């Protein structure tokens, strides 16, 4: 990245920019690349995991827009604009679809403004999902999302940044309660590979690199969908959610290290 702005601290790595490194983006600084390289040294599969995460995002948004008629998407912890963002996939199906991106990192707003200048149906908001009621009440959110109509709320690759002390269960409950019947919740999260000491050590090292957060079991992930009907094929390793191409080997770490799925509010 050639330029910086006074609001963007360039000496401290951020999750949005480290993830951008993983995806092969250019919106990152030396500090972010150092963290990304250290994480990749622990787990080289992280790059493919990030790509699987983007791929399920595309499949889910396309499915919900095309098959379920969803016209509003609230993408929480959206990250930096990258290849094929939520609004591009949704608006390809329905040009009138509304998309609100929310991220704690102000760099996302800076980049989003430039990209979305001529898109009246999409906006970026800087907010913290740890204060969900506040973010749901933001005028920029309310301007594009009508909570009387079905909405897809997305928590893609973000909840594992929150430790248990930040009470993610309560955060998702506030979000679920705000969603009307017929809404969808879409979550992906780093997944515990097993109790073998190597797996546990790997998770620990990885989370030390990322700063904070927690790897969760599929059963723990299921609690985030309390009261919702999980759509087939369930909460599964990301490449297995309604794949476009058959997955030949589902046993690899890159396939298994993240779980995701979609729930519908009855
Ligand atoms: N959702 C995108 C995806 O899956 O491709 C990006 C995921 S990226 C790994 C996680 C994002 O969550 C980062 O951009 C980070 O800034 C954001 N984030 C982390 N904690 C957050 C919080 N408390 N509130 C809002 N955003 C947060």
The three-state (H, E, C) secondary structure of 186-209, written as one string: EEEEEECCCCCHHHHHHHHHHHHH
Which pLDDT does position 241 carry in this prediction?
A: 98
pLDDT of 5 over the 90 cut: no
Q: Kindly list the domain boundaries of the chain, sorted by start residue.
A: 15-264
Which tens digits make up the pLDDT trace of 81-110?
Answer: 888 999 999 999 999 999 999 999 999 999
Quick check: CB of 138 below 6 Å from ligand 1?
Answer: no
Quick check: CB of 78 below 6 Å from ligand 1?
Answer: yes
Q: Considering the chain, what percentage of its residues have pLDDT values greater than 70?
A: 97
Closest atom of ligand 1 to CA, residue 80: 14
Quick check: CB of 112 below 6 Å from ligand 1?
Answer: no
Is 0.95 exceeded by the ipTM?
yes
- Distance of CA 82 from the midpoint of ligand 1 (Å): 13
- Distance of CA 16 from the midpoint of ligand 1 (Å): 6
Tell me the average pLDDT across 254-260. Answer: 93
Tell me the average pLDDT across 21-37. Answer: 92
Mutate-to-test residue for ligand 1 from 12, 111, 158, 172, highest number of ligand atoms within 8 A of CB: 158
User: pLDDT averaged over the chain?
Assistant: 92
Which pLDDT does position 72 carry in this prediction?
A: 98
Q: Please give the backbone phi and psi of residue 196, each rounded to the nearest 5 degrees, phi first.
A: -60, 140
Which pLDDT does position 222 carry in this prediction?
A: 97
Topology of domain 15-264 in CATH is Rossmann fold (3.40.50)
Measured between alpha carbons, how far is 34 from 253 in angstroms, rounded to an integer?
23
Measured between alpha carbons, how far is 67 from 65 in angstroms, rounded to an integer?
6
Residue 7's pLDDT band, with cuts at 50, 70 and 90, is low
pLDDT of 202 over the 90 cut: no
Q: Which of 32-46, 118-132, 145-159, 238-252 has the lowest mean pLDDT?
A: 32-46
Closest atom of ligand 1 to CA, residue 129: 24
Measured between alpha carbons, how far is 194 from 109 in angstroms, rounded to an integer?
38
- Distance of CA 10 from the midpoint of ligand 1 (Å): 17
């Amino acid at each position: 990245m050639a330029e910086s702005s006074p609001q963007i601290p360039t000496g401290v790595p951020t999750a949005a920019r480290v993830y951008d490194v993983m995806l092969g983006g250019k919106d990152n600084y030396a500090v972010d690349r150092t963290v990304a390289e250290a994480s990749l040294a622990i787990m080289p599969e992280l790059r493919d995991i990030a790509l699987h995460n983007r791929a399920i995002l595309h499949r889910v948004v396309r499915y919900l827009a095309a098959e379920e008629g969803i016209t509003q998407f609230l993408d929480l912890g959206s990250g930096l604009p990258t290849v094929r963002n939520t609004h591009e996939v949704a608006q390809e199906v329905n040009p009138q679809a509304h998309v609100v991106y929310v991220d704690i990192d102000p760099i996302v707003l800076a980049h989003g403004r430039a990209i979305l200048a001529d898109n009246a149906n999409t906006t970026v908001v800087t907010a913290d999902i740890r204060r969900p009621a506040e973010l749901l009440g933001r005028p920029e959110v309310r301007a594009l999302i009508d909570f009387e109509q079905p909405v897809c709320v997305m928590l893609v690759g973000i909840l594992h940044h929150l430790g248990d002390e930040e009470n993610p269960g309560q955060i998702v409950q506030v979000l679920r309660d705000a969603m009307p019947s017929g809404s969808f919740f879409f979550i992906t999260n780093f997944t515990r590979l097993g109790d073998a000491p190597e797996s546990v050590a790997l998770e620990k090292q990885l989370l030390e690199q990322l700063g904070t957060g927690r790897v969760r079991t599929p059963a723990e992930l299921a609690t985030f969908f309390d009261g919702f009907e999980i759509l087939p094929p369930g909460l599964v390793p990301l490449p297995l959610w309604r794949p476009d191409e058959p997955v030949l080997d589902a046993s690899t770490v890159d396939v298994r290290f993240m779980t995701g799925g979609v729930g519908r509010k009855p």
